[in-house]
């Protein structure tokens, strides 16, 4: 897909991977509508880095009415959609059998991707859906305390593959499973913590958000890929086997 003048929606674009993907798509010529919830300062910073014709949109992705409002805006503003990136999510740790945590994780990590995809495809004649998963979606990499998160990402991987079958041949659906990416979700880390976590990956450093964004653009532009879940984890999954 040639991305010049294409319309893209990116969820969770106010920082980290989402922000990097917004910038990369804009640099390719897309008009980008990205969502944010509480981080308005980050959203403003993202918007400043995008070319004219892009928009920020405040959305609580746990609320179906907010998602519908987002896609109504896209329809009224542009009349179509070419690219959806389901990026928004949050890593939550806790008791592996805490059902309240399971519901919270799935409400943040999985169900918004399903609802956004449902709304998006109604505006697509053709196009690309990209889901940002996690290497923790593969059971060999999931750690203690992250079972609900890993399970939600595993479900997202399955959703990617099955929707690729259901939406072919005109709409392509793929996913990326990142490893440790240096984003604000990690919070403040000491030099020692950065070094320790970096050692978990074969590349011996954190992945940059821009490196995930580069892969995102490559996948979206590739018209021969669908149903693929691409690992970009710096070798993390190999070190945890």
Q: Where are the domains of the chain?
A: 7-239
Mean pLDDT of the chain: 93
The answer to whether residue 43 scores a pLDDT higher than 70 is yes
What's the rounded mean pLDDT across residues 219-234? 97
Q: Which two tokens stand for residue 130?
A: 């990209």
Phi, psi angle pair for 32, to nearest 5° = -115, 130
**Confidence bin at 68 (pLDDT 50/70/90):** very high
134-164 exposure pattern, b = at least 16 Cβ within 10 A, e = fewer: bbbbbeebbeeebbbbbbbbbbbbebbeebb
**Closest to 172 in 3D by CA, of 181, 161, 183:** 161
What's the rounded mean pLDDT across residues 140-160? 85
Would you state the torsion angle of the CA atoms of residues 203, 28, 46, 104, taken in this order, to the nearest 10 degrees?
A: -60
Max avg pLDDT among 82-96, 132-146, 221-235 = 221-235
CATH number of 7-239: 3.40.50.720
- pLDDT at residue 240, as a whole number: 57
Would you state the torsion angle of the CA atoms of residues 134, 91, 213, 215, taken in this order, to the nearest 10 degrees?
A: 0
In Å, what is the CA distance from 176 to each residue of 17, 58, 131, 207?
11, 25, 6, 13
Residue 33, classified by CB atoms within 10 Å of its CB into exposed (0-12), middle (13-18) or buried (19+), is buried
CA 205 to chain centroid, in Å, comes to 21
**Closest to 83 in 3D by CA, of 29, 130, 26, 147:** 130
The answer to whether residue 103 scores a pLDDT higher than 70 is yes
Write out the E strands in the chain: 7-10, 31-36, 55-58, 83-86, 127-132, 171-178, 229-232
Place of tokens 């976590």: 197
**165/172 Cα distance (integer angstroms):** 9
The answer to whether residue 238 scores a pLDDT higher than 90 is no
What's the rounded mean pLDDT across residues 213-218? 98
């Amino acid at each position: 897909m040639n991305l010049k003048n294409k319309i893209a929606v990116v969820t969770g674009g106010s920082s980290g991977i989402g922000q990097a993907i917004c910038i990369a798509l804009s640099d390719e010529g897309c008009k980008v509508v990205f969502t944010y919830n509480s981080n308005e300062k980050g959203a403003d910073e993202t918007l400043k880095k995008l070319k004219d014709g892009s928009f920020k949109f405040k959305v609580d992705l746990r609320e179906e009415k907010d998602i519908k409002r987002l896609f109504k805006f896209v329809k009224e503003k542009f009349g179509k959609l070419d690219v959806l990136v389901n990026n928004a999510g949050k890593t939550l740790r806790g008791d592996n059998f805490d059902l309240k945590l399971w519901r919270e994780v799935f409400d943040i990590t999985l169900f918004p991707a399903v609802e956004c995809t449902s709304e998006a495809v109604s505006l697509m004649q053709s196009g690309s859906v990209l889901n940002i998963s996690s290497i923790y979606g593969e059971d060999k990499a999931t750690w203690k305390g992250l079972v609900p998160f890993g399970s939600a990402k595993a479900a997202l991987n399955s959703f990617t593959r099955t929707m690729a079958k259901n939406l072919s041949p005109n709409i392509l659906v793929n996913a990326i499973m990142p490893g440790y990416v240096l984003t604000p979700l990690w919070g403040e880390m000491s030099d020692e913590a950065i070094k320790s976590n970096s050692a978990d990956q074969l590349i011996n450093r954190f992945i940059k958000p821009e490196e995930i964004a580069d892969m995102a653009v490559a996948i979206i532009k590739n018209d021969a890929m669908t149903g693929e879940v691409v690992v970009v984890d710096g070798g993390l999954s190999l070190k945890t086997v």
